[in-house]
Chain A
């Protein structure tokens, strides 16, 4: 595999990075941000939507702050997993990503913005030619979706990053910056249901950091992940359940997030709320697990069949709730 040539820009501050982006934008040049590169570069080698310009964020020091309420976009996954400042469930999720070497390079921002994945898409150029390309990377052929044929309106590639469901449950806010200014949205509103657009990021915009509300530390919970191997593999399904206790057996509040099942991570507020209405311990957990299973709609584009992944969502949800009993 050989990387297609690109020009690498190495800004040393956020403002310089944004200025570089603005310049490229003005010149009509397409570009990608690169953080850890563990996802982007393999895709580049496969000639998947490679750009002529790449802006590296490695030297932008403003983005590396890590505290219980502030997580810079350039915080390495390994640091997030190891730091005392990390919420324990977040640390667990971070520690389940890929392998040590990839976690040492991969970043929080990169993980949140991880490109969606699909059997028909994450392949070499030659391979994709053999299937006549696909909707997500059609190389100008207007090719059809290979997972659900006869539709090329929506890409159903799967979002397979581990951090988002936990962060959504912790009510994280994501902070974005672009040459035209800064804005913040709730992480749960950051994603857009389409395997190609994926999220609300505009051209030239990047993630600077995430913030967690002050009380995040009061939330307990668990993250459960389904994968063939304990290392390397992307989640075939992931469920985060977080709750706040008020002394009694019934949790005062409950949140459920999922990943690896659709084009965006799921945040299941309704299901969580109805579980709390009439809390009966194990029974309620079973009902919640069943409700989450019903709520997700995986397709056939990853290692495991969708029917299995759905069934496992139920098991994972139950297991993530084990601390509630």
Chain B
């Protein structure tokens, strides 16, 4: 049980300003933590800073003040190569848009982060990628090019890609935002089962109250502040 209580991600007093066109503060002293195995959603109106927060947490945006810990290690102020490696190894991303690379097959798209990490041989990686695709019932499409899939299928492949390196945490930026009701439900159920069956830690930004309801915990934001968590 102690293992589960450990914080995976911890934000302390995160502040962020936009300077263009005028100085505006988008995040005001945001602090919270995500524990291992938790399925957390971040809710809020459009423009409340939730996406901005996610990109800071994802280590892609480094121009903020405050402190960020991942796996109990301080990652604020680390060099970009270190952060790249960290993203590769410990974070899985799912975006609103699928961002698959059209020139590659589904299987290769899933494998790329794994090949980049280089922990397993190519054959082993292929096997693992097929395993991940099986979770989403996508193994039959493995050899298709990414642009031959439907929107919902693409998003499922994107989630499989996020899982390939068995990340510490999966971050999603409105992963169902671009999908119709049916596909949105499929993706939602995938997240649910990931949380339940694989005990995967997840942090998902959404403005869909239904989606948020099904998560362990909802962090609500308004005007750059956390108002409830």
**Do A and B come together as binding partners?**
no
